[in-house]
Structure 1
Amino acid sequence: MAAAPKRPPLPAILLANDLLDGDVVFAASDGGEIVWSRDPAAARIAHDEEGAARLEAFAAAELAGNRVVDAYLVDVAIEDGRPVPRHFREKFKTLGPSNRPDLGKQAGEGLSRTA
Protein backbone atom coordinates (compact mmCIF):
# COMPACT_ATOMS: atom_id res chain seq x y z
CA MET A 1 0.00 0.00 0.00
CA ALA A 2 1.42 3.39 -1.01
CA ALA A 3 1.72 6.10 1.59
CA ALA A 4 -0.49 9.16 1.23
CA PRO A 5 1.31 12.17 -0.23
CA LYS A 6 2.61 14.58 2.36
CA ARG A 7 0.36 17.60 2.73
CA PRO A 8 1.91 21.04 3.34
CA PRO A 9 1.23 22.86 6.62
CA LEU A 10 -2.06 24.70 6.88
CA PRO A 11 -3.37 27.19 5.96
CA ALA A 12 -2.96 26.31 2.30
CA ILE A 13 -4.26 27.22 -1.15
CA LEU A 14 -4.46 25.20 -4.35
CA LEU A 15 -2.66 26.39 -7.45
CA ALA A 16 -2.23 24.87 -10.90
CA ASN A 17 -1.51 25.81 -14.49
CA ASP A 18 -4.37 26.23 -16.94
CA LEU A 19 -3.95 23.55 -19.60
CA LEU A 20 -4.92 25.78 -22.52
CA ASP A 21 -2.88 28.93 -21.88
CA GLY A 22 -0.42 27.86 -19.18
CA ASP A 23 -1.32 30.71 -16.82
CA VAL A 24 -1.18 30.07 -13.09
CA VAL A 25 -4.67 29.63 -11.63
CA PHE A 26 -5.91 29.44 -8.06
CA ALA A 27 -8.86 27.52 -6.65
CA ALA A 28 -11.41 30.11 -5.53
CA SER A 29 -15.01 30.15 -4.34
CA ASP A 30 -17.99 31.22 -6.41
CA GLY A 31 -21.33 30.82 -4.67
CA GLY A 32 -20.09 27.85 -2.65
CA GLU A 33 -18.58 26.09 -5.66
CA ILE A 34 -14.86 25.80 -6.28
CA VAL A 35 -13.73 27.45 -9.52
CA TRP A 36 -10.42 28.59 -11.00
CA SER A 37 -9.34 32.22 -10.77
CA ARG A 38 -6.24 34.00 -12.05
CA ASP A 39 -6.41 36.31 -9.00
CA PRO A 40 -4.25 34.94 -6.17
CA ALA A 41 -6.03 37.22 -3.68
CA ALA A 42 -9.27 35.32 -4.44
CA ALA A 43 -7.76 31.93 -3.61
CA ARG A 44 -9.85 29.71 -1.36
CA ILE A 45 -7.92 29.08 1.86
CA ALA A 46 -7.96 25.67 3.53
CA HIS A 47 -7.67 26.28 7.26
CA ASP A 48 -8.31 22.66 8.28
CA GLU A 49 -7.90 19.09 7.02
CA GLU A 50 -11.45 19.00 5.67
CA GLY A 51 -10.86 22.13 3.57
CA ALA A 52 -7.55 20.75 2.28
CA ALA A 53 -9.20 17.44 1.34
CA ARG A 54 -11.94 19.34 -0.53
CA LEU A 55 -9.31 21.23 -2.53
CA GLU A 56 -7.42 18.01 -3.27
CA ALA A 57 -10.62 16.34 -4.52
CA PHE A 58 -11.29 19.36 -6.78
CA ALA A 59 -7.71 19.15 -8.09
CA ALA A 60 -8.07 15.43 -8.85
CA ALA A 61 -11.28 16.04 -10.82
CA GLU A 62 -9.77 18.95 -12.74
CA LEU A 63 -6.62 16.96 -13.56
CA ALA A 64 -8.76 14.04 -14.76
CA GLY A 65 -10.82 16.43 -16.88
CA ASN A 66 -7.66 17.79 -18.53
CA ARG A 67 -8.41 21.36 -17.49
CA VAL A 68 -5.24 21.97 -15.46
CA VAL A 69 -1.79 20.48 -14.87
CA ASP A 70 0.58 20.52 -11.90
CA ALA A 71 -2.11 21.16 -9.28
CA TYR A 72 -0.85 21.14 -5.70
CA LEU A 73 -1.47 22.66 -2.28
CA VAL A 74 0.76 25.52 -1.15
CA ASP A 75 1.22 26.64 2.43
CA VAL A 76 0.51 30.33 2.91
CA ALA A 77 0.70 33.13 5.42
CA ILE A 78 -2.30 35.40 5.73
CA GLU A 79 -1.22 39.02 5.28
CA ASP A 80 -3.84 41.79 5.25
CA GLY A 81 -6.49 39.12 4.73
CA ARG A 82 -4.75 37.73 1.62
CA PRO A 83 -2.97 34.41 1.22
CA VAL A 84 0.73 34.86 0.45
CA PRO A 85 2.80 31.74 -0.34
CA ARG A 86 5.62 31.11 2.13
CA HIS A 87 8.06 29.74 -0.45
CA PHE A 88 9.79 31.67 -3.21
CA ARG A 89 8.73 29.44 -6.11
CA GLU A 90 5.03 29.77 -5.37
CA LYS A 91 5.27 33.44 -4.42
CA PHE A 92 6.97 34.05 -7.76
CA LYS A 93 4.14 32.23 -9.55
CA THR A 94 1.61 34.69 -8.08
CA LEU A 95 3.30 37.68 -9.69
CA GLY A 96 3.89 37.31 -13.41
CA PRO A 97 6.76 38.18 -15.75
CA SER A 98 9.76 38.92 -13.56
CA ASN A 99 11.40 41.21 -16.10
CA ARG A 100 8.28 43.30 -16.78
CA PRO A 101 6.80 44.73 -13.56
CA ASP A 102 4.33 46.67 -15.72
CA LEU A 103 2.74 43.39 -16.87
CA GLY A 104 1.20 40.41 -15.15
CA LYS A 105 -0.30 40.10 -11.72
CA GLN A 106 2.21 42.49 -10.11
CA ALA A 107 0.89 45.29 -12.37
CA GLY A 108 -2.48 45.22 -10.65
CA GLU A 109 -3.99 42.01 -11.99
CA GLY A 110 -3.95 40.23 -8.62
CA LEU A 111 -1.40 40.78 -5.89
CA SER A 112 -0.26 44.30 -5.26
CA ARG A 113 3.39 45.21 -5.86
CA THR A 114 4.02 45.19 -2.10
CA ALA A 115 2.87 41.61 -1.60
Structure 2
Amino acid sequence: MPRAFTPKVVTANALREGDAVWLTPEDDWSRDIARAELIEDEAVAQDRLLFAQAQADRVVGVYLAEAAPGPDGPEPVHFREAFRTRGPSNRAHGKQARR
Protein backbone atom coordinates (compact mmCIF):
# COMPACT_ATOMS: atom_id res chain seq x y z
CA MET A 1 0.00 0.00 0.00
CA PRO A 2 1.46 3.38 -0.99
CA ARG A 3 2.26 5.91 1.72
CA ALA A 4 -0.10 8.83 2.14
CA PHE A 5 1.06 12.06 0.51
CA THR A 6 2.58 14.55 2.93
CA PRO A 7 2.85 18.32 2.33
CA LYS A 8 5.75 19.38 0.12
CA VAL A 9 7.56 22.43 -1.22
CA VAL A 10 9.44 22.65 -4.50
CA THR A 11 13.09 23.46 -3.93
CA ALA A 12 16.22 23.85 -6.03
CA ASN A 13 19.44 25.83 -6.21
CA ALA A 14 19.70 29.17 -7.99
CA LEU A 15 21.71 28.61 -11.15
CA ARG A 16 24.05 31.60 -10.81
CA GLU A 17 24.51 32.00 -7.06
CA GLY A 18 23.95 28.42 -5.92
CA ASP A 19 21.68 29.49 -3.05
CA ALA A 20 18.86 27.21 -1.97
CA VAL A 21 15.56 28.55 -3.33
CA TRP A 22 11.90 27.61 -2.99
CA LEU A 23 9.05 28.03 -5.47
CA THR A 24 6.41 30.56 -4.40
CA PRO A 25 2.69 30.56 -5.24
CA GLU A 26 3.46 33.48 -7.59
CA ASP A 27 5.71 31.23 -9.75
CA ASP A 28 8.86 32.95 -8.54
CA TRP A 29 11.84 31.68 -6.54
CA SER A 30 12.54 32.85 -2.99
CA ARG A 31 15.57 32.34 -0.77
CA ASP A 32 13.14 32.23 2.19
CA ILE A 33 11.31 28.93 2.70
CA ALA A 34 8.54 30.78 4.58
CA ARG A 35 7.48 32.31 1.22
CA ALA A 36 7.31 28.89 -0.47
CA GLU A 37 4.09 27.34 -1.70
CA LEU A 38 3.06 24.53 0.65
CA ILE A 39 1.54 21.86 -1.59
CA GLU A 40 -0.91 19.43 -0.01
CA ASP A 41 -2.13 17.60 -3.13
CA GLU A 42 0.04 15.04 -4.91
CA ALA A 43 -1.20 15.90 -8.42
CA VAL A 44 -0.55 19.61 -7.82
CA ALA A 45 2.91 18.76 -6.48
CA GLN A 46 3.77 16.87 -9.67
CA ASP A 47 2.50 19.79 -11.80
CA ARG A 48 4.56 22.31 -9.83
CA LEU A 49 7.62 20.05 -10.05
CA LEU A 50 7.31 19.89 -13.85
CA PHE A 51 6.87 23.68 -13.98
CA ALA A 52 10.03 24.16 -11.92
CA GLN A 53 12.07 21.64 -13.92
CA ALA A 54 11.29 23.60 -17.07
CA GLN A 55 13.21 26.58 -15.62
CA ALA A 56 16.69 25.21 -16.28
CA ASP A 57 17.86 28.73 -17.12
CA ARG A 58 17.18 29.80 -13.49
CA VAL A 59 17.53 26.76 -11.22
CA VAL A 60 19.20 23.35 -10.96
CA GLY A 61 18.55 20.26 -8.86
CA VAL A 62 14.79 20.72 -8.58
CA TYR A 63 12.96 18.35 -6.20
CA LEU A 64 10.03 18.06 -3.81
CA ALA A 65 10.88 18.34 -0.11
CA GLU A 66 8.66 17.52 2.83
CA ALA A 67 7.50 20.56 4.76
CA ALA A 68 5.01 21.43 7.47
CA PRO A 69 2.83 24.47 7.99
CA GLY A 70 4.35 26.93 10.45
CA PRO A 71 3.20 30.22 11.95
CA ASP A 72 5.06 32.23 9.28
CA GLY A 73 4.80 29.80 6.35
CA PRO A 74 6.22 26.41 5.43
CA GLU A 75 8.95 24.96 7.63
CA PRO A 76 11.38 22.14 6.85
CA VAL A 77 10.67 18.70 8.27
CA HIS A 78 14.05 17.03 7.79
CA PHE A 79 17.51 18.10 8.91
CA ARG A 80 18.82 18.40 5.35
CA GLU A 81 16.19 20.97 4.43
CA ALA A 82 16.61 22.88 7.69
CA PHE A 83 20.35 23.00 6.99
CA ARG A 84 19.72 24.35 3.47
CA THR A 85 17.68 27.26 4.89
CA ARG A 86 20.74 28.49 6.79
CA GLY A 87 22.91 29.05 3.72
CA PRO A 88 26.48 27.99 2.92
CA SER A 89 28.21 25.90 5.55
CA ASN A 90 31.84 26.66 4.72
CA ARG A 91 32.12 30.26 5.98
CA ALA A 92 30.00 33.26 6.83
CA HIS A 93 28.59 33.89 3.36
CA GLY A 94 25.14 34.84 2.17
CA LYS A 95 22.45 34.36 4.81
CA GLN A 96 25.00 33.61 7.54
CA ALA A 97 26.90 36.88 6.95
CA ARG A 98 23.72 38.91 7.49
CA ARG A 99 23.19 37.48 10.99
Q: TM-score, normalised by structure 2?
A: 0.79
Q: 1:87 aligns with which of 65, 78, 82?
A: 78
Q: Distance in 1 between matches of 2:96 and 2:48?
A: 23
The percent identity for this pair of structures is 38
Are the counterparts in 1 of residues 12 and 59 from structure 2 also a CA contact under 8 Å?
A: yes
The structural deviation recorded for 1:106 is 9.2
Q: Distance in 2 between matches of 1:56 and 1:95?
A: 23
Q: Distance in 2 between matches of 1:107 and 1:9?
A: 36
Q: 1:44 aligns with which of 25, 37, 43?
A: 37
CA RMSD of aligned residues (A): 2.5
Q: TM-score, normalised by structure 1?
A: 0.69
Q: Secondary structure at the match of 2:87?
A: coil
Q: 1:71 to 1:106 in 2, by over 3 A?
A: farther
* Count of residues in Structure 1 that have an aligned counterpart in Structure 2: 95
Are the counterparts in 1 of residues 38 and 69 from structure 2 also a CA contact under 8 Å?
A: no
Structure 1 segments unaligned to the other structure (5+ residues): 1-7, 109-115
| Deviation beyond 2 Å, 4+ runs, structure 1 | 97-100, 105-108
Residues 50-98 of structure 1, C-alpha deviation per residue, up to 9 Å, x if partnerless? Answer: 32022111122113xx321111000112121421111111111012245
